[in-house]
Chains A and B, each alone.
Chain A
Amino acid sequence: MAAASSASPAAILKDAGLFALVAFGLCVPIVSHRTDLGADGLELTPRWGLVAGLCAAIFAVRLVQRLVLERRAARAVLTPSPHQATEPVGAEPNAAQYPSSLGLPRLGLPLFVGFALFLPLIAALASGGLSPARYWIDLGILILTYVMLGWGLNIVVGLAGLLDLGYVAFYAVGAYSYALLSTVFGLSFWVCLPLAGLFAGLWGVMLGFPVLRLRGDYLAIVTLAFGEIIRLVLINWTDVTGGSAGISSIPRATFFGVPFKAGPDGFSALVGLPFDPMHRIVFLYYLILALALLTSLVTLRLRRLPLGRAWEALREDEIACRSLGIDTTKTKLTAFALGAMFGGFAGSFFAVRQGFVSPESFNFLESAIILAIVVLGGMGSQLGVAVAAVAMVGGPELLRNLGFLKAVFGEGFDPNEFRLLLFGLAMVAMMIWRPRGLISDRMPTVALGQRKAIGKDLVREGHG
Chain B
Amino acid sequence: MNAPLLSLRGVSAYYGSVAALRGVDLDVNEGEIVTLIGANGAGKSTLMMTVFGAPRARSGTIAFAGEDITARPTHAIARLGLAQSPEGRRVFPRMSVQENLQMGAALHGGRYFGQDLEKVCTLFPRLKERLNQRAGTMSGGEQQMLAIGRALMSRPRLLMLDEPSLGLAPLVVKQIFSAISALNREEGMTIFLVEQNAYHALKLAHRGSVLVNGRITLSGPARALLDDPSIKAAYLEGGHAPTASVGEGVQA
Interface residues of A (CB under 8 A from B): 85-86, 89-91, 93-94, 96-97, 306, 309-310, 312-313, 316-317, 319-328, 442, 444-449, 452, 454-455, 458-460, 464
Contacts and interface: CB of A to CB of B under 8 A. Distances in A.
A384 B110 CA distance: 31
Given A309-B99, A312-B92, A446-B99, A97 B78 contact: no
Contact of A324 (B54, B96, B103): B103
Contacts of B102: 309, 446
A319 B78 contact: no
Contacts of B52: 322-323
A241 B129 CA distance: 61
Nearest to B110: A306
A405 to B, nearest CB: 42
A316 B90 CA distance: 9
B213 interface: no
Interface of B: 52, 54, 73-75, 78-79, 83-84, 86, 90-96, 98-99, 102-104, 106-107, 109-110, 125-126, 129-134, 136-139, 150, 154
3 closest A-B pairs (Cβ-Cβ)? A325-B78, A316-B92, A320-B90
A86 B73 CA distance: 39
B98 A446 contact: yes
Contact of A325 (B75, B86, B95): B75
A255 B80 CA distance: 53
A205 B86 CA distance: 30
B219 to A, nearest CB: 26
A327 B75 contact: yes
Contacts of A320: 86, 90-92
B74 A89 contact: no
A94 B133 contact: yes
Given A97-B132, A324-B150, A444-B98, A310 B106 contact: yes
A448 B106 CA distance: 19
A444 B106 contact: no
10 contacts: A94-B130, A96-B134, A96-B138, A306-B110, A309-B102, A312-B95, A325-B79, A444-B134, A447-B96, A459-B94
A324 B107 contact: yes
A323 B79 CA distance: 9
B225 to A, nearest CB: 28
Contact of B125 (A89, A312, A444): A89
A448 B132 contact: yes
A322 B73 CA distance: 9
Given A322-B78, A324-B104, A326-B106, 8 more contacts: A313-B92, A313-B103, A319-B86, A324-B106, A324-B107, A325-B79, A442-B94, A449-B132
A312 B92 CA distance: 9
A97 B154 contact: no
A86 B91 contact: no
Given A97-B137, A312-B92, A454-B134, A445 B75 contact: no
A452 B78 CA distance: 32
Contacts of A458: 134, 136-137
A343 B154 CA distance: 36
A328 B95 CA distance: 18
Given A310-B106, A454-B94, A460-B94, A322 B54 contact: yes
B75 A93 contact: no
